[in-house]
Amino acid sequence: MIRSTDQMAEQKKRSTMTVSLSKGQTVSLKKESGGTLTHVRMGLGWDAVKKKGFFGGSKSQSIDLDASAVLYDAGGAVLDQVWFRQLKSKDGSVQHTGDNRTGAGEGDDESIVVYLDRLHPDVATIVFLVNSFTGQDFSQIENAFCRLVDETNGQEIARYELSSMGNHTAQVMAKVARDGAGWSMTAIGATAHGRTFKDLLPAVQPHV
């Protein structure tokens, strides 16, 4: 596909604005024009590793990764959670856009939208998790990532590549936490085991 000069310039602009996070790195969530972000989306994408066929070819498989968000207060207590069985937080400030059971297609496979300016004042940290509901471990997954997008203009702010392959079935991906009057995002990338967010709560606790 041939892209216009304007499209290429816009892609370059967005890529230069994106912060590629490494494990443990933190980035402040501030707008280019000043002020703090109010409406963001955490997107998760992945591909299933193709299995080898009997005659040297390969075939696709389906892997159901689930993104979830757990809301904590300043003392580390769970206030609320958003996952495929509860698509909205109680106050509606955090919303899951729906379950993707295969990982097929380009771009984000699952997304969680957060209205930072609507969060209850008691919410100090939001931790984002991903787990394999179907039980396959991360050796069967490739090209996995999470990214934070400014929903007011579609600009990608930060991206973290979930490149760790192994026999774990879940990861504590990242957290968004209050940082003075604003917010910051930290890449965590801690491996864990479990099929739902409830199984991962002990692994989350050290990072809250």
Question: What confidence score (pLDDT) does residue 103 get?
Answer: 43
**Mean of pLDDT over the chain:** 83
Instruction: Enter the pTM of the model.
Output: 0.83
CB neighbours of residue 40 within 10 Å: 22
Cα distance between residue 30 and residue 37, in whole Å:
6
Average pLDDT over residues 58-85: 88
Q: What is the pLDDT of residues 11-69, one digit of tens each?
A: 444 444 678 999 999 999 887 667 788 999 999 988 887 766 555 555 566 777 889 99
State the alpha helices, DSSP H only, in the chain: 5-17, 197-204
Q: Exposed/middle/buried for 56, CB within 10 Å: 0-12, 13-18, 19+?
A: exposed
Residue 140: partners with Cβ closer than 8 Å, 6 or more residues away:
48, 49, 61, 63
Whether residue 204 is predicted with pLDDT greater than 70 in this model: the reply is yes
Q: Cα separation of 105 and 29, whole Å?
A: 28
User: Could you tell me the pLDDT band of residue 3, with boundaries at 50, 70 and 90?
Assistant: very low
Report the C-alpha gap between 206 and 20 in whole angstroms: 23
- Give the three-class secondary structure for 197: helix
